[in-house]
Chain A
Amino acid sequence: MLSISDYSKSYGFEPVLDIRKQNFPVGNHLIQGSNGSGKTTLFKSIAGMLKFDGEIALQGEISLVKDPVKYRLHVSYCEAEPRFPPFLTAHDLISFVAKAKKASKQQVNSLIEALNLDSFIHQPVKTYSSGMLKKTSLLLGFLGHPRVILLDEPFTTIDADTLKSLAQLISQHQQGCVFLISTHQDLKQIPVNFKSTFFIDNKKLNIRS
């Protein structure tokens, strides 16, 4: 569903990542790599936030290079350490993104309930803990009708209940959605089944059996 071809990304003269061809079918895919190996760079490139050389496309027809707005509508990215303006509330952020991504009220409410945002949704972001920030970011990621969801370290800073809810959300969406998930946590503690595991090493994305 998500295809990457002739991808390369450099910062200045420093090449960071080089992927000749890689397809990600629907389902959960784990992306692993040491610190600074290029996981976040790959996620940001797929999310259309970083410029790169090459091509990334959805179902081989919606190209990030040729039609970035249409492509980005179907791709969500949740950062490892999300940040939001301190003076806004989660409600402001959610209503804005929900409207933009054409999410139904029902979807918004069910996500708020699933991730347990009710208690702080009307409080300003400056009062949030890192777990609350993470929950807000995860909710924004699931809004609308994404076909690709990129989760950068989604299991850190969240409590056990939210971890379960997140795993449930992932399993609900995995039938029609590509999940690329990066984590440094022990996989035994994560209640998510991965279709494949990739490892970024020496600037290459390698599949692991």
Chain B
Amino acid sequence: MRYTYILLKLIAKQFYIQNSGIFLLFLFFGLGFLSGKEHIALASSIAQSPALLFYIIICWSAYLWASVRFVQEAIASKENLWVRNIIFFKAKQQWIMLIITQIVLNAPIIAYAGFISIFIAKYNQWSNLAMLTTYIVLSNLLPIVFYRKRLAAPIGDNKSSRLKVRANRLIATPVWLWSLNSLLHNRSFLYLITKTLSIGVLIAFTTIDNASVYDWRWLSIGVILVSMINITLITELFNFFKRDVPWMMNMPLSGLERTFIQWNSLLLLILPEGFVFIKYFPKDRPLGLFVELTIFALSICLSLFASFSVLSPEADNNLKKYFFFAIILFLLCLFGIPPTLSAFLLFSFTLTVHVSHYKINLE
């Protein structure tokens, strides 16, 4: 038990400390915005609808992914090399220690799943209960298999990095691909996960869209979500320009020219979503809406990028700020402000920040 406690202190406690901001936000929204009756109504709806339960499971999976990634980083970090000795414990002990850690990490999911399962039992939705139970069991067991594999293997991966370097060498020559090249080379996993998530959301919104039921706001909300999901990659791009190519500052380029070099990388970044949007854009919607929403998405990404020039991407309270930013965009959308107008405002903000930021730096 003592060793499990050390592991909990090292991993679970640190996970909750590092993510305390987001947990507080959820608690705030959970307790502040929804009354007890609304919580029960929501849980009853989820209990009776496999589709809703499925969406909840997708949200939980995002959380699960974050926790697994945290553990993976923890066991590979330089200061935790000693914890890799866990692999020498007896297999049964390893499983117990790691499962307890994973259960503590998954505690919010398990607690809410327990709450929903009361209503599932009440409405005799046994298939939903089976789905929920299977998910909870797998979400606690599968990560252990993954962790044990990771703990037994060396930390670095020589072969994959060679492949990455080879692939990057092929595309790295033109300057306009540097940022994307760096992103693919250093954060390929993050790129794949983010793109999978954002494209998944985009496909879901365009597929579910029904012009006779929803107006343009439905797709606008989808576009806001897709753009906000890309914030992780936009942060990486910003860091690339700030840390990896600071010498660009000394090049004889105007603020406007520098701005366009950076914007180009954002255009490349959301190109995959662009293709998906063209392919899945509902046929019963006007083409004008497609153009409007594309500009809207671009303006959100650009303003996120520009905002890092004002706020440091490492600042502690950024998550809260960007969460409120997304909420404001949602509200503007819900109140019927056309995406073009929002895009125009965001675009003006972006251009002002970019140009003034570079002028200040050059001076």
Asked if A97 and B85 sit within 8 Å, CB to CB, the answer is: yes
Stretch at the interface among B74-82, B245-253, B263-271, B350-358: B74-82
Task: Tell me the residues in window 95-124 of chain A with beta carbons closer than 8 Å to chain B beta carbons.
Answer: 95-97, 99-102
Which residues from B are CB-within-8-Å of A10? 158, 162
Asked if B81 and A49 sit within 8 Å, CB to CB, the answer is: yes
A9: CB under 8 A from chain B?
yes
Complex Cα spacing A96 to B97, Å: 12
Which residues from B are CB-within-8-Å of A95? 2-3, 6
A83: CB under 8 A from chain B?
yes
Interface range for A: 20 to 34
Which residues from B are CB-within-8-Å of A12? 161-162, 165
Q: Number of B residues whose C-beta is below 8 Å from A?
A: 27
Give B166's nearest chain A residue, CB to CB. Answer: A13
Complex Cα spacing A140 to B85, Å: 11
Which residues from B are CB-within-8-Å of A87? 9
Asked if A101 and B83 sit within 8 Å, CB to CB, the answer is: no
* Per-position 1/0 for A183-204, Cβ under 8 A of B: 0000000000000000000000
Complex Cα spacing A131 to B155, Å: 27
Which residues from A are CB-within-8-Å of B83? 96
Asked if B85 and A101 sit within 8 Å, CB to CB, the answer is: yes
Asked if B2 and A100 sit within 8 Å, CB to CB, the answer is: no
Asked if A93 and B152 sit within 8 Å, CB to CB, the answer is: no
Complex Cα spacing A88 to B14, Å: 12
B141: CB under 8 A from chain A?
no
B157: CB under 8 A from chain A?
yes
Stretch at the interface among B24-32, B47-55, B86-94, B191-199: B86-94
Q: How far is the CB of A130 from chain B (nearest CB, A)?
A: 14
Asked if B88 and A69 sit within 8 Å, CB to CB, the answer is: yes
Which residues from A are CB-within-8-Å of B162? 10, 12-13
Q: How far is the CB of B95 from chain A (nearest CB, A)?
A: 15
Which residues from A are CB-within-8-Å of B87? 69, 72, 100
Which residues from A are CB-within-8-Å of B2? 95
| Chain A CB within 10 Å, residue with most, of B88, B89, B153, B165 | B88
Asked if A84 and B85 sit within 8 Å, CB to CB, the answer is: no
Asked if A68 and B82 sit within 8 Å, CB to CB, the answer is: no
Asked if B156 and A140 sit within 8 Å, CB to CB, the answer is: no
Give A9's nearest chain B residue, CB to CB. Answer: B158
Asked if B158 and A68 sit within 8 Å, CB to CB, the answer is: no
Task: Tell me the residues in window 79-115 of chain B with beta carbons closer than 8 Å to chain A beta carbons.
Answer: 79-83, 85-89
Asked if A100 and B88 sit within 8 Å, CB to CB, the answer is: yes
Which residues from B are CB-within-8-Å of A51? 154, 156-159
Complex Cα spacing A61 to B82, Å: 25
Give A68's nearest chain B residue, CB to CB. Answer: B152
* Per-position 1/0 for A128-149, Cβ under 8 A of B: 0000000000001000000000
Beyond A48-B154, A51-B154, whether A88 also contacts B85 by CB under 8 A is: no
Beyond A50-B155, A85-B80, whether A100 also contacts B6 by CB under 8 A is: no
A62: CB under 8 A from chain B?
no
* Per-position 1/0 for B159-181, Cβ under 8 A of A: 10110010000000000000000
Asked if A99 and B89 sit within 8 Å, CB to CB, the answer is: yes
Task: Tell me the residues in window 1-29 of chain A with beta carbons closer than 8 Å to chain B beta carbons.
Answer: 9-13
Q: How far is the CB of A94 from chain B (nearest CB, A)?
A: 9
Which residues from B are CB-within-8-Å of A97? 82, 85
Q: How far is the CB of B244 from chain A (nearest CB, A)?
A: 16
Asked if B158 and A53 sit within 8 Å, CB to CB, the answer is: yes
Complex Cα spacing A102 to B161, Å: 36
Complex Cα spacing A68 to B159, Å: 18
A167: CB under 8 A from chain B?
no
Beyond A95-B2, A96-B3, whether A140 also contacts B154 by CB under 8 A is: no
Asked if A79 and B81 sit within 8 Å, CB to CB, the answer is: yes
Asked if B88 and A83 sit within 8 Å, CB to CB, the answer is: no
B333: CB under 8 A from chain A?
no
Task: Tell me the residues in window 67-96 of chain A with beta carbons closer than 8 Å to chain B beta carbons.
Answer: 68-69, 72-73, 79, 83-85, 87-88, 92-93, 95-96
Which residues from B are CB-within-8-Å of A73? 88
| Chain B CB within 10 Å, residue with most, of A9, A73, A100 | A100
Give B13's nearest chain A residue, CB to CB. Answer: A87
Beyond A79-B81, A83-B79, whether A100 also contacts B153 by CB under 8 A is: no
B10: CB under 8 A from chain A?
yes
Q: Which of B's residues lie within 8 Å of A, judged by CB?
A: 2-3, 6, 9-10, 78-83, 85-89, 152-159, 161-162, 165
For the complex with contacts A51-B157, A96-B6, A102-B88, 17 further pairs of A-B residues with Cβ separation under 8 Å are A12-B161, A12-B162, A50-B155, A50-B156, A51-B158, A51-B159, A52-B158, A68-B153, A87-B9, A88-B6, A95-B2, A97-B85, A99-B89, A100-B85, A100-B86, A101-B88, A140-B82
Interface pairs (9), CB distance under 8 Å = A12-B162, A49-B154, A50-B156, A69-B152, A85-B79, A96-B85, A99-B89, A100-B85, A140-B82
Leading 5 A-B pairs by shortest Cβ distance: A100-B85, A83-B79, A100-B88, A51-B158, A12-B165
